[in-house]
Amino acid sequence: MNSARIDLRAIIKQEGLRYTTQREAVWRELQSSDNHRDAESIYFTLRGRSINISRATVYRTIEILVKYNLVRKLDLGDGRSRFECKLGSGHHDHLICTKCGRIDEFVNDDVEELQKSIAAENNYVLSNHIHQLFGLCENCQNEEDK
Amino acid sequence: MNSARIDLRAIIKQEGLRYTTQREAVWRELQSSDNHRDAESIYFTLRGRSINISRATVYRTIEILVKYNLVRKLDLGDGRSRFECKLGSGHHDHLICTKCGRIDEFVNDDVEELQKSIAAENNYVLSNHIHQLFGLCENCQNEEDK
DNA sequence: CTCCATAATGATAATGAATCTCATCTAATT
DNA sequence: AATTAGATGAGATTCATTATCATTATGGAG
Ligand SMILES: [Zn+2]
Ligand SMILES: [Zn+2]
Ligand SMILES: [Zn+2]
Ligand SMILES: [Zn+2]
């Protein structure tokens, strides 16, 4: 339910930080809407709801959410960071349509295992990875036929 | 040997473009030095060799090299693009040390096959992918023990 | 070799995402 | 209500990259 909201307040408090309307708004927005949002989009959505917030605060709040592992930061290669709420979904990677920008998610345990062995072979201790597949989604393939 | 240089001249000419000293210099620099160079590094190296070139021309030349598939553009997540000459090495992906910035390369055909099946399952026609593993390299792990 | 059209270059301004500054505001406790 | 330190907003700043445009130089024609 809204355990998520409670989570943020608890974390915020525990760290001696303050639970502000701006922080709550960004967190709710990231939870309730589609994932893979960029900062500008969050900023405009909240402004459109008459919530008083600045770009700087959007960025600062997201930074906190990422720090406390509630939000994942994505670099999809288009110059702006995207963010997705980590509640309610496990680790996944992304398929991105180069034509329409559609983003799909995939989970593949075999690849995850191979990543571990690649790291081991190269004497790396892994912390994270980026795995993104770019191409044409089904819709955009069909439009190519015209 | 220098078939590469000939390649560029041929491509340049074929497109009705002009083979300038700046374009040759950038291409030679990318061929002769370590891979994973950023534009600024190429700019300064060439200036250091008394080659007259501007940042804009470095970027413009790299754009051409990427367009004609001689150079691959990498986004390693640190805010600046890296470039690597595609001659003399097949497709590979990267391991990146988050502490010292070291970059290693890996080739894994099993992963490449899995990428194809993931794309097929999701009805995507793949064009390319980004696969980067981040962690601590061997040296940096040892320094952690201090 | 010289001329010429035009592609290419360089200096600089502009862009855009993200961060920083700092005066002002406000959450949270007393 | 007063207090205080953390949080905010407006605007400046940074940094990589791109755009502008006057000047330069390539490469083909003659
Ligand atoms: Zn599409
Ligand atoms: Zn996702
Ligand atoms: Zn290292
Ligand atoms: Zn490489």
Task: Round to a whole number and report the distance in Å from the CA of A49 to the C1' of C24.
Answer: 24
Q: Which residues of A touch B122 (CB under 8 A)?
A: 95, 104, 106
pLDDT, one tens digit per residue, over A14-24 is 889 999 999 99
Q: What pLDDT sits at residue A25?
A: 96
Let me know whether A146 and A125 are in one domain.
yes
Let me know whether B25 and B50 are in one domain.
yes
What DSSP element (H or E) covers B139?
A: helix B138-144
Let me know whether A63 and A102 are in one domain.
no
CB within 5 A of ion ligand 1: which residues?
A 97, 99-100, 102, 137, 140
* Domain region containing B111: 91-146
Let me know whether B105 and B85 are in one domain.
no
Assess whether pLDDT exceeds 80 at residue A115: yes
What DSSP element (H or E) covers A37?
A: strand A37-38
pTM over 0.85: yes
- d(CA B105, CA A39) in angstroms, rounded, equals 32
* CB burial string A20-43: b at 16+ within 10 A, e below: eebbbbbbbbbbeeebbbbbebbb
Let me know whether B65 and B131 are in one domain.
no
Q: What percentage of chain A has pLDDT greater than the value 70? A: 94
Q: What pLDDT sits at residue B110?
A: 97
- Calculate the average pLDDT of chain A: 92
pLDDT, one tens digit per residue, over B99-121 is 999 999 999 999 999 999 999 99
Q: Quick one: pLDDT band at residue B3, thresholds 50, 70, 90?
A: very low
Let me know whether B63 and B121 are in one domain.
no
Q: For residues B91 and B102, is the Cβ–Cβ distance under 8 A?
A: no
Let me know whether A78 and A128 are in one domain.
no
Q: How many CA atoms lie within 13 A of B76 on its CB side?
A: 24
Q: For residues B92 and B74, is the Cβ–Cβ distance under 8 A?
A: no
Number of domains present in the structure of chain B? 2
Q: What pLDDT sits at residue A2?
A: 42
Let me know whether A8 and A61 are in one domain.
yes
Let me know whether B106 and B74 are in one domain.
no
Let me know whether A9 and A70 are in one domain.
yes
Distance from CA of A65 to the nearest CA of B (A): 19
Distance from CA of A56 to the nearest CA of B (A): 19
At B15, which CATH number? 1.10.10.10
State which residue has its Cα closest to the C1' atom of D26. B18
Q: Which residues of B touch A122 (CB under 8 A)?
A: 95, 104, 106
